[in-house]
Amino acid sequence: MLAKDELVLNVLDDQKIAPGDLPASWFSAAEVRLGSKGEKDLIVASKGPLLGANIDPFWIFIHDIRGYRLALSTSTHDLIVKGRRTHGYRDLELDAMTASTITTAQFRFNGNEYKESAEKTEDIK
């Protein structure tokens, strides 16, 4: 699934690597129980040539009866799994920063995927 991601495909193309030869070293994954049914979901973070200057790509894969499926693809500085749940899945908070501001976005599961539910930008003091 990651070999079909547009960002990943662009870096593969730049480095002249075939999608079938996608290096596992470009990713780090953690099993997390996002849903209330106890299934092990995955949060995948980028490494190596996929890293950005101040934001990094993340992918959230949830596990259901069909296997893993992509529920969110995003780039952010921090990804925080919250305790609150929406439609049985834990909410997410994403933070991005510039030299003068911090933007915090809340994401909630809509029954199929994660969607942004709120966003706030504040000056850094």
Per-residue pLDDT in tens (0 to 9) along the chain, 125 residues: 999 999 999 999 999 999 999 999 999 999 999 998 878 999 999 998 898 778 899 999 999 888 999 999 999 999 999 999 999 999 999 999 888 999 999 999 999 999 999 999 999 87
Residue pair 41/90 in contact by the 8 Å Cβ criterion: no
Q: What angle do CA 101, 106, 107 make, to 5 degrees?
A: 135
Instruction: State residue 44's pLDDT score.
Output: 96
Instruction: State residue 54's pLDDT score.
Output: 81
Backbone torsions φ then ψ of 49, nearest 5 degrees:
-70, -5
C-alpha–C-alpha distance, residues 60 and 17, integer Å: 24
**SS3 (DSSP) at 17:** coil
